[in-house]
A and B are shown apart, each in its own frame.
Chain A
C-alpha cells in the first residue's frame, strides 16, 4: 500500500496558503484589524517618542530654558502613555484571537478528518497525520502569538526609522541603505545554503525517530532475546549521525544572528565617524547627529527580530500548507436519499425519496461486483451473492482472498468499481450513508477502545442506551463476568486503547458494543479470533439469541465458528470458488472439505 506523506520543507503554493490562512484570520476580522491598528499606534508612538529627543536637545542647545524642556518632556510622556495603552490592547486582543483561530483550525481539521473516506486512513501513516495536529498547528499558534505583532511592529519601526533617518540626514542614510542591502543579501544567501543542512538534519531525525518508534514498540521482544546491547549500539550509531548533522545545521543557522548584528555595528561605527566628519564640516548639528545615532542603533533590534520572525513565519506557512492539504482532501460523498427510520411500533423502515415506506428485511445482494484498491489490481472479481433476511453467511479463505473487502463494500467503506451491492433491493449508494451504517454493526478483529469507562465504551454502540441495556449486552457477549471482576466494574476507566485488558476481553467488549446497537445486519470480521473456544461457545449461545431475525456475515479462521452458517462462501483470489451449507460443501469434497478434515491449510 502506498504511503503518502504530506509535503514539507517550505511552503510551495504560497499564494493559496496565505489566502486560505487569511480566511481563518478573517473569522476574527475585527479583532485582527483592531489589533493591527493598535500595533500601528503603539509603534508610531514609540518611534515619535524617541524622535522627540532631537527637538528637546536642540531646544536646550538653542538656549531654550526649563519651559521648553518641560513642554518637550510632557509631549513625549503623552505619546508614551498612548503607546503603553495601545500595546496592552493589542497584546490582549491578539493573544485571545490567536487562540480562537487555532481552535477553529483544530476543530475544522478534526471534523474534516472524520468525514474523510477510509482510503485516506489506509494510505496515510498515523504519525504523519498526528504531526499535522501537533507540530503544524503549534507553529501556527506560535507564529500568531509572537510573530504577528512582532512583524508588524518591526516593519513599522524599520520603515519609520528609515523615514526619520532620511529626514534627519539623507546623506548618512544613503550609507545606512547600503548596509541594509548587505544584510538582506546575506540573509537570503545563508537561508539558501542552510536548507541543504536542514534537509540532512531532518532526514537523520526521521531515521532516529523511526528507529525509536519501532524499537520501543518491540521493547518486550528485545528483552526476551537479551538483545539490549546490540540495540544500544544500533541506536547510538543513529543518534551520533543526528548529532553530527544537527551540529552542522545549527552552527550554520546560529551564525546568522551575530553576523547580522556585526554588520549593524560596523555600519554604526561608520555612520558615527562620517557623521562626526559632517558635524565638523558644519553640515549637521551635534544634536541631530546624536539623535540620528540613536535611531541607527534602534534599528538594529527590529531588523534582528524581523529576520528571526520571517523564518518562523515561513515555517508556519509550511505547516499551514500541510494543514490545508488535509483540509483539501475530498470528503466521503453521500448522494443517498433513502432514509432508514426506526420506530418503537414497527421496527426499521425504509423511507424512499418519494415518501413511501417499506419495512426493512435485511436482504443483501452482490451483483457482479468488481473492486480494486489500486487500479488494475482487482481484489474482487465479479462477485455475486445473495443473503436472505435472517441468514448467516460465512466467508472462508486465505488472507488477502477478499473476505474483509466484501464487508467493506456492504457498509460503503469503499465503493464498488462496477456491479452493485443491494440492500433490500436498494443500491447501497442510494441509501443515506449514516443510516446504512446504523443498520449494520461491525465487530472487527482489531478492537479499539476509547478513553472513558467500560460503560462508555459499550454505550458507543447506542448513545442513549440505559445502564440495564448495557449490562444486558455485556451478558449477551459474555463480558459481564470479567467486567464485574475489574476494580471498578462497569465504571473502570479505559486508557491507552485498553492495553490493560487482554485481547480477548477487548473483543468481548466490542461484541457487547455491537449487541447494544441492536442492528438488523451484523458483520463479524474475525471477531472471536482471540477468544478461547470455550468462551466462544458461551458467547455463541448469547449471540444466537442476538442473531435471531438478523442477517449475519461472519469471517473466521476457525471453521468451528462458521459450520452452522446457512451458507458458506469459500473465497480464493477474489472469486467465490465454493458455496453452500456445511453439509453441502462436505459432500462436494472441495477445498472446504479438505480444510475441515485438516488435509490442507489456508495459506496466509
Chain B
C-alpha cells in the first residue's frame, strides 16, 4: 500500500483530473440513486391516487436524472482517461529519468528485460487500475452508504436486516481477499518463470536443436507450467468463492425482506411500491459490496507491479557526485593508487587487487591478459563507470570522484566491448559523440576508424539508416562505427575495450595507425594480439586481477612469462608479429 501511495504522488498535474473524475462519478451515482425513490413515489401516490399530473412530473424528473447521469458519465470518462493516461505517462517518465541516473552497477543489478517490463507493462497495469478501477471505487462505497441511508429512511425496521448482513458479507469477502492476495504474488512469480523459460529457448534455439534437447527443454518448461497451473487453480478456486458467498447473503436478505415485508403488508403497514423500492436498495447495497471486493482484487494484482516500479524509483544511485565538482580535466594522465575493486560487496574475491601504475598524458598503453583477468574492469574505473572499493584512480591530477560525471566522461572516451548503435542514420549515431559535428568532421573520424569506405558504399552514405540496435551493419562495421563515434567527442583519454575483435588484422592495423596520428590523446588498448601492443609506450599484463608485469614492449619478453607465452602462441599462428 505504501508503494501505491508513492506512485499516487506522481499524479502531479493530473491530480486535478483524478479528483474531478471522482466528483463526476459521485454525481452520476447519486442521480441514479434517486430513481428508485421516484419510482416508489410514482406507484404509491401517482398510481394509487390516479393522479396523472403527478405521474408526469415524476416521469419527467426521472428522465432528467437519466440525462444528467449521461452528461456526468461522459464528463467522467474524459477526466478519468486524462488521469489514467497522464498517470501512466508520469510513472514512465519518473522511471526513465531515474534510470538515466543509474550507474553501471545499478544497471547490472536490474536485468535489461526486467527494466523493460518495469517501464512498459508494469506502468500499463497501474494505468489500467485507474481506468477500470476508479469508477467502481467511487460508486460502490457511495451506493453502499446512500443505499443504506435511503433504505433506513424508507423503512427503518426492514433496514435492520442490513445492519446484520452487510458486515457479515464484508468480513467474508475480506477473508477471501486476504487469503488470495499472497497467492497472486506467487502466481506472478510462476508466470515469470514460465516466460523466462520461453525466452531462454527462443534465444538459444540453435543450441537446443543442435544438441537435440527439445524434450529436455519441454520437461523444464512443463515443470514451470505445472507449477503455474497448480498455483493458478489454488488461487482461482479461492477467489471465486466470493460469488456463492455473496449470493448466500443477498438471497438471505431478499427472503427476510419478503417475509417481514409481507407480514407488514398483511397488516397494512407497508405499501407495494415501498417493498419493491426497498428490495432494489438491498440489491444495490450488496452489489456494491461485491464491487468493492472486485476493486480490491484488482488492486492486489496491481500491487506487484507497483512494487516493481517503486524499486526502480527508490534505488539509491551507487555513484555519488561530488558536491563541488571539478568541471575541467587538466590532461590525459592517469594514475592508479593501490586500487582494489569488486563488483559487489558480497563478492568473495576482489576482481582487481592492489593495482598501482601511472600513465603520462599522450602515452599509448596496451593491456594484455587472459579471459577473466580483469582487463575490462580495470579500464571501466577510469571514466568512473564503477567506483573503486579502495584506493584511488587519478585522472589529470585529481581523483575521478572529484569531477562531475559529465565532465569526466566527456574527457574519457571508452569504446565498450558490448557496443551498440541505435535506430537512425549513421550521422545521428555519430552525433552522439558531438552534437555540433559537421559532416567533414564525421568523415574525418570515419576515416581514422577505417569506416569511410563501407559507409561510402551504403545508399545515402551518412543518411543510411542503421535500424534498431544497428542491425543493418555487420559486427565488424559496428565496431568501427563505435570507434568513430567515440573519436568524434575528442576525448583526452580514449579506451578501446577489445573494440576490434570482429575486425581483421589488417584493418585493425590501419585503425591503430590512424589513431597514432592523434598525438595529444592518451590511448589505452585492451588487446589480444601482441602485434596490437607492439608499438605502445607501455604494456600492462594482468593475471587474475593482479598486475603480472608492466614495462616497455621490448622489455616484456624478458620480464613477463605470460607475454612470452602469448608471443609464442601467436608466432605459430597467422599473426605478423613484427608489426
Contacts and interface: CB of A to CB of B under 8 A. Distances in A.
A405 interface: no
B120 A280 contact: no
Interface stretch (B42-50, B161-169, B333-341, B356-364): B42-50
Contacts of A212: 96, 116, 119-120
A442 B198 contact: no
Given A221-B420, A448-B204, A461 B562 contact: no
A368 interface: no
Interface stretch (B322-330, B409-417, B437-445, B549-557): B409-417
Interface string B143-175: 000000000000000000000000000000000
Interface string A245-259: 011111111110111
Contacts of A222: 100
B206 A413 contact: yes
A66 B565 contact: no
A560 B86 contact: no
B189 to A, nearest CB: 14
B211 A243 contact: no
B133 interface: no
Interface stretch (A11-19, A94-102, A351-359): A94-102
B62 A268 contact: yes
A110 interface: yes
A91 B579 contact: no
B272 interface: yes
Interface string A232-267: 100110011011001111111111011101100110
Given A91-B244, A399-B476, A451-B200, A286 B48 contact: yes
A272 B432 contact: no
Interface residues of A, number: 175
Interface string A532-544: 1111110000000
B96 A209 contact: no
Nearest to A603: B454
Interface in A23-82: 46, 49-50, 52-53, 56-57, 60-61, 65-66, 69-70, 72-73, 76-77, 80
B225 A106 contact: yes
A272 B39 contact: yes
Nearest to B87: A243
B74 A259 contact: yes
Interface size class of B (residues with CB under 8 A): 35 or more
Interface string B175-206: 00000000000000001001111111111111
Contacts of A277: 52, 55
Given A255-B73, A265-B66, A297 B280 contact: yes
A98 B236 contact: yes
Contact of B201 (A113, A294, A447): A113
A494 to B, nearest CB: 10
A145 B187 CA distance: 15
A213 B117 CA distance: 9
Interface stretch (B104-112, B303-311, B393-401, B512-520): B104-112
A604 interface: yes
Interface string A325-364: 0000000000000000000000000000000000000000
A54 to B, nearest CB: 10
Contact of A273 (B58, B96, B199): B58
Contact of A66 (B100, B104, B216, B263): B263
B561 to A, nearest CB: 11
Contacts of B347: 487
Contacts of B505: 598, 601
Given A286-B48, A444-B206, A597-B576, A130 B195 contact: yes
B43 A276 contact: yes
Given A69-B259, A133-B195, A595 B474 contact: no
Interface string A558-570: 1111110000000
B42 A450 contact: no
Residue in A126, A255, A595 with the greatest tally of chain B CB atoms within 10 Å:
A255
A533 B529 contact: yes
Interface in B368-419: 368-372, 376, 383, 385, 405-406, 409-410, 413-414, 416-419
B315 interface: no
Interface stretch (A372-380, A468-476, A498-506): A498-506
10 contacts: A57-B272, A95-B236, A113-B201, A213-B116, A243-B85, A258-B74, A450-B220, A601-B505, A602-B504, A604-B475
Given A266-B63, A595-B504, 15 more contacts: A92-B240, A96-B233, A110-B198, A216-B116, A217-B112, A218-B420, A223-B104, A251-B82, A266-B66, A499-B111, A529-B502, A560-B573, A562-B574, A595-B506, A598-B579
